[in-house]
């Protein structure tokens, strides 16, 4: 029998917010990021929120990552992972209804569930246990002599390679395979499966999804809109 699988992005796809962003906010809250740096992050986030620049979110993330890397090597790992634990406790159940229910349905049908995320491996592993994922790949922080070096190994720049490794290692079948994601970094992952589900897409992903006629799902407030491609158009199913 084939071993069916479904692969999920996490931040913005299952969890409503970005876990990595919440971790950086926690570092600022506990004084590991200077008030000046924290103000730069908040200002970048504000500029994204006003929606005057289509690249506002990318600009905000750039500031966030820059300030995060600047202080990472000065933080004790046990203190860092204490904040990660707090973020998990706060956000673990703040999920989108569509993807949460899809997870449960696929699990009941025997699908192997895979999570690939740019958030830290430690928090992704806890989410995996909480939601019943079988295989998880997150970002890892290099440590030397019990200290962070500032180097990060993340799967987000080559999700196709990571997914192919999981498929090969566990003899999974691409027959009936499903991928769910919300950003352009998920495109290589969608290209590997039979059934891509583009969830709350960003502008670049939306454009590619329309060109390739991938299913699009939008969850807004308490409504879920499933858009099915047909003859070059989309129908509300």
The predicted structure's pLDDT at residue 173: 95
Token pair listed for 119? 């958030």
Phi-psi region of 146 (alpha: psi -120 to 50; beta: other; left: phi over 0): left
The predicted structure's pLDDT at residue 200: 97
- Which among 44, 75, 93 is the end of a domain? 93
Cα 159 from Cα 24, distance rounded (Å)? 23
> Pairing mode, if any, of strands 178-181 and 5-8?
parallel
116 and 82 in a common domain:
no
* DSSP character at residue 186: G
Number of folded domains that form the chain: 2
The predicted structure's pLDDT at residue 27: 93
Cα 79 from Cα 84, distance rounded (Å)? 9
- Which among 30, 60, 93 is the end of a domain? 93
Cα 216 from Cα 228, distance rounded (Å)? 7
Model pTM greater than 0.85? Answer: yes
1 and 118 in a common domain:
yes
The C-alpha angle 16, 190, 101, rounded to 5 degrees, equals: 40
152 and 35 in a common domain:
no
What is the domain-level CATH number for residue 183? Answer: 3.40.50.1000
* DSSP character at residue 183: S
Range of the domain at 131: 1-16+95-237
109 and 225 in a common domain:
yes
The predicted structure's pLDDT at residue 2: 73
pLDDT in tens, the chain (237 residues): 779 999 999 999 999 999 999 999 999 999 999 999 989 999 999 999 998 888 889 899 999 999 999 999 999 999 999 999 999 999 999 999 999 999 999 999 999 999 999 999 999 999 999 999 999 999 999 999 999 998 999 998 899 999 999 999 999 999 999 999 999 999 999 999 999 999 999 989 999 999 999 999 999 999 999 999 988 889 998
The predicted structure's pLDDT at residue 22: 94
Cα 3 from Cα 31, distance rounded (Å)? 47
């Amino acid at each position: 029998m084939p071993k069916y699988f479904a692969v999920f992005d996490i931040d913005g796809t299952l969890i409503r917010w970005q876990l990595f962003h919440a971790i950086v906010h926690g570092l600022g809250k506990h004084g590991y990021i200077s008030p000046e740096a924290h103000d730069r992050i908040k200002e970048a986030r504000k500029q994204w929120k006003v929606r005057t620049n289509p690249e506002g979110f990318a600009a905000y993330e750039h500031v966030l990552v820059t300030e995060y890397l600047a202080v990472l090597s000065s933080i004790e790992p046990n203190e860092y992972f204490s904040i990660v634990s707090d973020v998990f406790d706060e956000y673990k159940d703040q999920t989108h209804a569509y993807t949460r229910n899809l997870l449960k349905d696929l699990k009941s049908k025997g699908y192997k569930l895979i999570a690939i995320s740019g958030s830290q491996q430690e928090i992704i592993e806890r989410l995996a246990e909480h939601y019943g994922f079988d295989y998880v790949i997150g970002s890892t922080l290099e440590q030397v002599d019990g200290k962070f070096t500032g180097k990060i190994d993340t799967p987000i720049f080559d999700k196709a390679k990571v997914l192919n490794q999981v498929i090969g290692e566990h003899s999974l079948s691409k027959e009936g395979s499903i991928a769910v994601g919300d950003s352009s970094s998920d495109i290589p992952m969608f290209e590997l499966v039979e059934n891509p589900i583009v969830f709350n897409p960003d502008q670049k992903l939306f454009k590619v999804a329309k060109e390739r006629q991938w299913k699009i799902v939008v969850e807004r407030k308490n409504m879920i809109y499933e858009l099915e491609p047909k003859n070059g158009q989309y129908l509300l199913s």
